[in-house]
Amino acid sequence: MKCMNFRRFDPAYKNSGKVGLQRGNKLEEEVWRTFADKPELLREVASAISEHVLNDDSNLAPVDDDEETVEADEGRLLTRVHRHRERSKKIVDKKKDAILKKTGRLACEACDFDFQVAYGARGSGFIEAHHTKPVHTLRPGDKTKLEDLALLCANCHRMVHVRQPWLSVEALRAILKAASEFDAKNTPEAA
């Protein structure tokens, strides 16, 4: 089926009067553009993926355990194999629209950080969507509702997921409030 998805981009296939499958992943076009005219690169990447799967070898550069080392080899292009759970951009956009209509701004539901206030036009409309029902727990046919999403800044989103069990937005908000109260009591002005 994946090959039929790619055929919708193949000019030779289309010139024969056929169309291929039209409903594929949006990244398929990027993959087609990257590899269609580069069979050697495709073979090299496919071999690297196969080798990784068969040998469970991450092909990472060795790490120097010398505490004096202050440099590392980086930037080498690696191909990784991983699974990714599907998410809907449409529902995230609808959540943002609903919050904008309700509050007039997109701010973190935990710490109130507003990307547009901090970064101007560059931050306009930017905020991350957190699934309050973990995506890995959803079963085929389950639906995500707007109330299943929370808008969080990148820092708060990372703190929710830093270790399991994941924090609820309410628990993170309580941590931030406690830290803020502690800071307020322990500043020189408070003395």
User: For the segment 54-110, what is each residue's pLDDT rounded down to a tens digit?
Assistant: 776 454 555 556 677 678 778 888 777 777 777 889 999 999 999 999 999 999 999
Comparing CA positions, the residue from 80, 79, 100, 96 lying closest to residue 88 is 96
Residue 121 has pLDDT above 90, yes or no: yes
Cα distance between residue 191 and residue 187, in whole Å: 7
Q: In this structure, is residue 157 part of a structural domain?
A: yes
Cα distance between residue 149 and residue 94, in whole Å: 10
Q: In this structure, is residue 35 part of a structural domain?
A: no
Q: In this structure, is residue 55 part of a structural domain?
A: no
Q: 30-39 burial, b if ≥16 CB within 10 A, otherwise e? A: ebbeebeeee
Percent of the chain with pLDDT over 90: 42
Q: In this structure, is residue 158 part of a structural domain?
A: yes
Q: In this structure, is residue 148 part of a structural domain?
A: yes
User: Which tops the pLDDT comparison, 131 or 26?
Assistant: 131
Percent of the chain with pLDDT over 70: 92
In this prediction, residues 97-125 reach a mean pLDDT of 97
3-36 confidence digits (pLDDT tens):
788 888 888 888 888 887 777 777 888 888 888 8
Q: In this structure, is residue 62 part of a structural domain?
A: no
| Three state DSSP letters for 70-114 | CCCCCCCCCCCCCCCCCCCHHHHHHHHHHHHHHHCCCCCCCCCCC
Query: Which range marks the domain in which residue 103 is found?
Result: 89-185
Q: In this structure, is residue 169 part of a structural domain?
A: yes
Q: In this structure, is residue 179 part of a structural domain?
A: yes
Would you state the pLDDT for residue 59? Answer: 47
If one counts the domains in the chain, the total is 1
143-168 confidence digits (pLDDT tens):
999 999 999 999 999 999 999 889 99
Would you state the pLDDT for residue 62? Answer: 58
- Structure letter (DSSP) for residue 17: T
* pTM exceeding 0.85: no
